[in-house]
Structure 1
Amino acid sequence: MKIALLSDIHANLPAFEAVLEDLEKRQPDAVYCLGDLVGYNVWPNQVIGLVRKYGIATIAGNHDLKVSKIMPSEGDCSKEESSEYAYKLVGKKERDYLLTLPRHLRIEFQLNDQPLNMLLVHGSPRSINEYLLHDLPEQYMLELVREFKADILCFGHSHKPYHRVINSGENSIEHFHHLINTGSVGKPKDGDARACYVLITIDQTASTTTQDAVQVEFVRVKYDVEKAAKAVELSLLPNAFADNLRKAY
């Protein structure tokens, strides 16, 4: 089975459309989004519309939940630059959708008479705002996957993709856990301005006792970065957001 995971679109319509086009070519068996559909750019409603049109199962990101505190703009929007402008663009029906998204999704496989549990979160299972960075101590990550019974833990939030394998096995019995950061579709921070998402392949031989049983591929997709950056500069959003897109930091 091939599963596509994407996250942190951040209202970047050109990037999301490019990823959707790439997914159409690759034809994964399932597509999930790990949140943050909005923020930082001017197309939140269009992005949400496409997520719903394609039936992409989605969880809430921290930026999605900000719409509960920032109301839509009414009348004249000619105010000084503000990052809050990104959330004021979100329409009522889109706002209602964001505020009803689940926080986590759990997928359980039964392979070789053994369960293989995949947990999808935005930040971490403990907090939507927690950053699970690549260099966190292994012991901390082991405690996390044990607590939440996650053989494959998938998350976004930091916009920096990585795949890390850790072993929680004891007494010569190996138990491998996969930690997968999806990177960001619409606002990469790893120096590569292309949109990023993940393809995970799980075959019938997959097991927690085999380190290479889960195959992870990071897919980078070219898109019109300048179009997305110019849209920021022509809006009431801070121009720094455009620089972030061009330089991917």
Structure 2
Amino acid sequence: MKIALFSDIHANLPALGAFFQDIEKTKPDAIYCLGDLVGYNIWPNEVINEIRKRGIPTIAGNYDFGVGRTSDDCGCAYKTDEDKAMGSQSISYTNQIVGIEERKYLRTLPAHIQLEYQLDEEKLFVLMVHGSPRKINEYLFEDRDEKSMMRIMDAPNADIMFFGHTHKPYHRVFEYEKDGKTAYRHAVNLGSIGKPKDGDVRGCYIMLTLDENSSKFNKESIKVEFIRVEYDVEKAAKAVEDSILPNAYADMLRKAY
């Protein structure tokens, strides 16, 4: 089984369109979205409706949570006054243009999705969150202490945990003992489809491959592939510049920071 997971579109319709074109080639058996459909660009309604019409199971990102409730706080934990000011412009603009039905959709998105697979008489638990299982806007960066990550994954009993929010993709594997055997937990950050921050302007999504032999006791049996997708970055950047949004968001798209 091939499962595609993507996150953090942030109203970037050209990037989302390129993603949908790409999955026509990769042909996953299932698709999941880990939130932050809106914010930072001009197409929140179009992005929401492209995902809705495909019936893609989707969880709420921090931006979706805020806009769904017409809040002026996106929960982004900006570090500088400049970032806070730009963030305020972004969520204010999004709140002004998002539609009634689209807002209702955002407000009803679940906080997480958990799947239980029974493969070769063994259970495998997959957890999907936006920031972390503890908080929608918690940042789980790649340098997070291993003991901390294990505690975060242990509480919901996640063998594989997928998340976004940082816009920086990575895959870490943690070893531990279970029932007298060596077992493994996989923590996977999806990166971002519409607002990458890792220096690569292309959108990023994940393809998870499982089969009847996939097991927490065999780390090689769980395959995670990062797929990068080219899109019309300039179209998305120009849309920002032609709107009342800060031009800095266009620069971020062009340089992926």
Same fold (TM over 0.5): yes
- What is the match of residue 33 of structure 1? 33
Partner of 2:89, secondary structure, is coil
Q: Deviations over 1:4-27 (max 9, x none)?
A: 000000000000000000011111
Q: Deviations over 1:135-167 (max 9, x none)?
A: 111111111111110000000000000010001
Structure 2 matches for 1:175-194, cutoff 5 A?
A: 175-194=183-202
- What is the match of residue 76 of structure 1? none
Report the residue type matching 2:211 in the other structure.
Answer: D
Report the TM-score, using the length of structure 1 for normalisation: 0.94
Displacement of 1:171 in angstroms is 7.9
Q: Is the 2:39–2:94 contact (alpha carbons within 8 Å) kept by the matching residues of 1?
A: yes
Q: Is the 2:70–2:95 contact (alpha carbons within 8 Å) kept by the matching residues of 1?
A: no
**Is 1:152 paired with 2:169?**
no
Displacement of 1:87 in angstroms is 2.9
Q: Is the 1:86–1:237 contact (alpha carbons within 8 Å) kept by the matching residues of 2?
A: no
Q: Deviations over 1:18-73 (max 9, x none)?
A: 000001111100000000000000000000110011111100000001111348xx
Partner of 1:192, secondary structure, is coil
Which sections of structure 1, spanning at least 5 residues, go unmatched? Answer: 72-79
Report the residue type matching 1:137 in the other structure.
Answer: D
Q: Is the 1:142–1:168 contact (alpha carbons within 8 Å) kept by the matching residues of 2?
A: no
Displacement of 1:134 in angstroms is 0.7
- What is the match of residue 80 of structure 2? none
Report the residue type matching 1:234 in the other structure.
Answer: D
- What is the match of residue 24 of structure 2? 24
Which sections of structure 2, spanning at least 5 residues, go unmatched? Answer: 73-85
Displacement of 1:88 in angstroms is 1.9
Q: State how far apart, in whole Å, the 2-side matches of 1:175 and 1:207 are.
A: 9
Q: How many residues align?
A: 241
**Is 1:127 paired with 2:113?**
no
Partner of 1:118, secondary structure, is strand
Structure 2 matches for 1:192-231, cutoff 5 A?
A: 192-231=200-239
Report the residue type matching 1:206 in the other structure.
Answer: S
- What is the match of residue 82 of structure 1? 89
**Is 1:162 paired with 2:162?**
no
Q: State how far apart, in whole Å, the 2-side matches of 1:10 and 1:82 are.
A: 14
Q: In 2 relative to 1, CA 99–171 (structure 1 residues): closer, same or farther, beyond 3 Å?
A: closer
Partner of 1:168, secondary structure, is strand
- What is the match of residue 75 of structure 1? none
Q: Deviations over 1:186-245 (max 9, x none)?
A: 000000000110000011101111011110110000000000000000001011100110
Report the residue type matching 2:197 in the other structure.
Answer: K
